[in-house]
Chains A and B, each alone.
Chain A
Amino acid sequence: MSPQDLPADLGAARPWRPGKIFRWLALTLMPVLAALFGGGVILWAVGVDPLNYYGTVAGRGLLSPSGVQQTLTRMAPLLFLAAGLIVAFRAGLWNLGVDGQFLLGAVAAAASAPALAAILPSGAAILVAFSLAALVGAAWAMLPALLKAYGGVNEIVSTLMMTFLGVSLANLVVKLGLRDPETTVPQTRTLPVEDRLPRLFETTVSSGLLLGLFTIILVHLAMTRTAFGLRLRVMGVNPRAAIHAGLDLPWLTICAFALSAGLAGAAGAIEVLGIQGNVRADWNPAYGLLVVPTVLLARLNGFAAVGFVLLLSVLSIGGESAARRTGVPSAFTFVLVALVLVVLACSEYLDRRARNTPEGAA
């Protein structure tokens, strides 16, 4: 045992060593760059100039005034989804049903907001519709939550199955129950622009962006600085230690699901109240499965997630524009995100192996 192992410097904080920063960069930015490079190879192979494509994406998603406003607006629901996923993942629960929860939340908001706006002041109507969406999202996760908490049923399967049901149910409700009689397109009644979430200053950016930033930072602090967050994390990293410490696992599981799905439902409300104004039948942006790798890439850190959500927004907004200009389908964004995930998994594996080898040999 060498002298520096002695407990004299136990309290010494040493947050950022150069090696740590380098590792973080290597493990975080490298996968992104490698994925962009891999995507470039694919584009080149199908006969598209990668530089032209990426130039268009960056130009439309980040550099043009209207593009950047769209990008920032797109971030709002993604931030809520990321916050919801952080809660679940930190608690060790794979809530992969966020798309269903999102869509049902969106429908709840779209159905209630126009009616509420007629009887309440606009701010109150938005608040009530927003809360209702969160409740509907949370309610949709209760079945998987109860099954997991009391039956040990794998939540990956149950939440994924519930998402199929949720998407179909949202569709059905729009087509059968809430269809706006004044249009031929099957969609809900459109919320007038003046009753929607206000826009920021003189731009088209929805104030949902601020709500999203506020929410994800609040969630981050709750997970890292509160007793409740620590209980969820203990359950996430070692459920048996949580039982041994006397934590009420079923209750924590239900709470984590309710929060996670509630935030996903709120994401749907933000999209409807801030951007769309209504829900069309067959509409399913499937943001949830794009945000999952984003949150993992951010290592469940709320602040890092903001950065990666921005990147995702740029890719998806820019990708939609580039689709029109270069003929590359906008689904290519999915390819890029998938590549990030693959590279991330590989680098994580290599990092773990590299770190374990010296210990195993010692």
Chain B
Amino acid sequence: MLLLWIMINNMNSIIEKAASNERIHFTEALKLLNEAELLTLADLANKKRLNLNPEPVVTFVVDRNINYTNICISGCLFCAFYCPPGHADAYVISKKELKEKIKETLSLGGTQILLQGGLNPSLSLDYYIDLLKFIKDNFPVHIHGFSPPEIAFIAEKSSLSFEDTINKLIDAGLGSIPGGGAEILVDEIREKTSPNKCSVDQWLKVMKTAHNCGLRTTATMMFGHMEKPEHIIEHLMKIRNLQDNTGGFTAFIPWTFQPDNTRIKVEKATSVEYLRVLAVSRLFLDNIQNIQASWVTQGDKIAQVALVFGANDLGSTMIEENVVAAAGVKFRLPKEEMIRLIREAGYQAMQRDCFYNIIKT
């Protein structure tokens, strides 16, 4: 009886702590994630969101994912997109195709491109520099490109430090870095799911270096595969600690692993599981301004619900997306529909740039 009282009381005090805007700690976040009622989490996260972003505005960006190559030596178990070198479907994008894709993006009101690809051993630093320069010479477009595993791969291949690599990429036109490749920032899990990908320390070091070089970045988390709830909180903890140090993260984007066509056989995370992690992310990452909902993995309905579970941004309209689509999920969300979802939920829809500046209301 006493134990029960302590347990309930403990949960209540955590809820009160979160509600009063105090920073919550590892064990508290874990308890919320594991045990709090769904609507309690929503309520806390929504109020935290309104505390950090009081305006009833939901933002989005118009861009396209351009995957410059699908050749990758990483061979992550959760990936349905990559091809090993020499595979019949392997490609490196041509300049002609790249040009057309960017032209179309700009004509659709796009402001940026997300430029990501596999760890392709036949590409050198010169390739990346040429790629960036080519884009910048031809188009007035922001380049959000090269996640930490790519940066670490390029640096190693060129025997350069992260700092030198990043500075060279900045000089060539890189505008910001996407937070991909974080998956779960716990080496024990990474060793199982993506043994050839950069380690937790390397991921964090790339981000820290980028922030110190003046680049802003996002951070992501892919969950719903081999991790446990405590690994999710550990991931959030590492992101929060780095953000305390640098302040360089613009947004956090949690999304769920899509198991089709991959080598990890698990039941796909349900929408309630997603919403719980989203809400706890909003509560825990008190030093990151923006939380993005992932309509690509959740669909338009759950993405809209996410707006009351802590998300204040719907990410990109994604004129093109290939990686999640390869894992069997093909949700579409045109810009007009995105705006309708936002308005029907009682918010103002505003198009933003990569740094969350409003460019169009």
Partners in one complex: no
Q: Which B residues fall within an 8 A CB radius of A?
A: none
